[in-house]
Structure formats: structure tokens, C-alpha cells
């Protein structure tokens, strides 16, 4: 499974435009870490996006793309409207990328 994180908007929008999405491949992760990521992805895919106001000044938005077995799933949410499962996946990905 390959997971890609792209960040858009916010106060650093001009900087983020120049940065490529961050990506990771579960084949390069230890089995237990890959399993944890797979569980977070499954929960985020299963949880519907929350229906509430989606506009906020300078809010960040996030696109997480999951490629698995020839299938691609794109999840998009923002700081203004984010499901708990998406937030958990986003937090996990940010921590992982900070450690690289």
C-alpha cells in the first residue's frame, strides 16, 4: 500500500504549492507499523465526512491518497471539517514524516 499526503492552503499556502506530496510505502515499514497504518486508513475510509461548515479563513486542507492493489482512494478534508478517523490518520502520517 502506498499512502500520499498533500497539504493545501493555510498561511503557508505559497510554500506548500512548491512542495511535492509526502509519500510512504508500507513495504518499507515494519509489519506492526504497516498494520497500524492499514487500520487507520480503513477507519478513515469507512467514516463519512462530517457535515458542518467547511469554510474557515486560512484553514489547511489535506488530501490523502491511498493506492492499494491497483485501487486508488482519495480522502479530502480540512481543518474546518474533519472526521475523527481522518484526524487520527493525519496525525499518524505527520508524526511519521517528521521522523524521517
Q: What pLDDT digit, counting tens, does each position of 7-41 carry?
A: 887 555 455 556 688 999 999 999 999 999 999 99
What is the structure's pLDDT at 15?
Answer: 54
Cell of 38: 492499514
Q: What pLDDT digit, counting tens, does each position of 64-78 carry?
A: 999 998 999 999 998
b (16+ CB within 10 A) / e for 59-80: ebbbebbbeeeeeeeebebbbe
Segments making up each domain of the chain, as ranges: 2-99
Amino acid at each position: 500500500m502506498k499512502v500520499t499526503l498533500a497539504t493545501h492552503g493555510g498561511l503557508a499556502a505559497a510554500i506548500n504549492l512548491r512542495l511535492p506530496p509526502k509519500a510512504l510505502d508500507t513495504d518499507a515499514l515494519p509489519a506492526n507499523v504497516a498494520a497500524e497504518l492499514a487500520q487507520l486508513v480503513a477507519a478513515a475510509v469507512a467514516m463519512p465526512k462530517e457535515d458542518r461548515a467547511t469554510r474557515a479563513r486560512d484553514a489547511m486542507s489535506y488530501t490523502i491518497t491511498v493506492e492499494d492493489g491497483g485501487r486508488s482512494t482519495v480522502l479530502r478534508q480540512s481543518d474546518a471539517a474533519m472526521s475523527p478517523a481522518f484526524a487520527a490518520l493525519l496525525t499518524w502520517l505527520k508524526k511519521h514524516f517528521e521522523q524521517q
